[in-house]
Structure 1
């Protein structure tokens, strides 16, 4: 598998920096290679083209992030706690890595339909985690049993996602993680049985 090769992560990390700084369309493979400290040709040992770098970057970063979320929420006692943990982890991950936040919130959105489909395929696992929290909340009688689960999932993901996008667009002048509890409160109040 390509991501076990030693320079793979080096190239991915360089791509995050270069794309965040220059935008996807102005980020030549040669700039990514230079930032990674590898020859241009080395990039093509790992990736087919620049689009493949962007998709791989998202698969790699999102894959690691989803694994972490799955592990962390497994230790929580109920759906409300799991949802709070998910929001906090999401905000922490992107709040601590502005270049990654710029790439995920802005650059990935400008891509062609084929690329967006590949990105949506990666997101499915994350949305499945949200679905499991909703299901658990209903089973625990914390959330309303007649919820439109797909709509609730969109509401949760969309709120988290837009909060990060707004933070990026406002030049990250405030704490993203500092908004986690308030976002959680607003979401839970909308779906809880209270």
Structure 2
């Protein structure tokens, strides 16, 4: 059975992002989230089983939109290098636009228990598949080396983007994250050789 949706569901999700970012997941009691959302504590339980369910739902919602928007941008491009650039740019743009969400995804989700991390990894699969699409397309067109190990390259792309965003969060978002999209794309495309594409 699907989750109950509606304006209050969205209010609770947005409130949870702010409360978890400010207080940390372990200190983000359901009562704090309810207060931030402007609803009664009991209302939360009409939509979510518990705090863990809120965190997973928040990640599913945000990641779902994240993947959708990124996919739209990638599909506008024909060149594999540009597709990779759009993927990186959208990753940075969407998190730069919501610092509280970046704090939740980069710091708080990592402090969760093993069971929660498994659920989070399930949600991440959609995003990792997007990276695979860019990679396969690039290999088929001859833009990327056909011998690349997809799994390893996917880990390296995701790991690079993840680390760049984490660093930006740790520095309180004090610099332009989106401006790093081109240098990161160039580094990933050119690797560490002195030969430019």
TM-score, scaled to structure 1: 0.97
Deviations 1:24-78 (A, max 9, x none): 0001000000000000000000000000000000000000110111111111112
Q: Is the 8 A contact 2:5 2:47 kept in 1?
A: no
Give the structure 2 partner of residue 159 of structure 1. Answer: 160
Q: Deviations over 1:96-127 (max 9, x none)?
A: 11100000000000000000000000000100
Corresponding residue of 1:103: 104
Q: CA deviation at 1:193?
A: 9.6
2:7 alignment partner in structure 1: 6
Which structure 1 residue ranges, 4+ long, deviate > 6 Å from structure 2? none
Specify the SS of the correspondent of 2:172: coil
Point out where structure 1 has 5 or more consecutive residues left out of the alignment. Answer: none
- Number of residue equivalences: 194
- Cα pair 2:85 2:182 within 8 Å, conserved: yes
Give the distance between the partners of 1:4 and 1:182, measured in 2 at CA: 40
| Residue in structure 2 matched with residue 42 of structure 1 by the alignment | 43
Say what the alpha-carbon RMSD is for the aligned residues.
Answer: 1.5
Q: CA deviation at 1:6?
A: 2.4
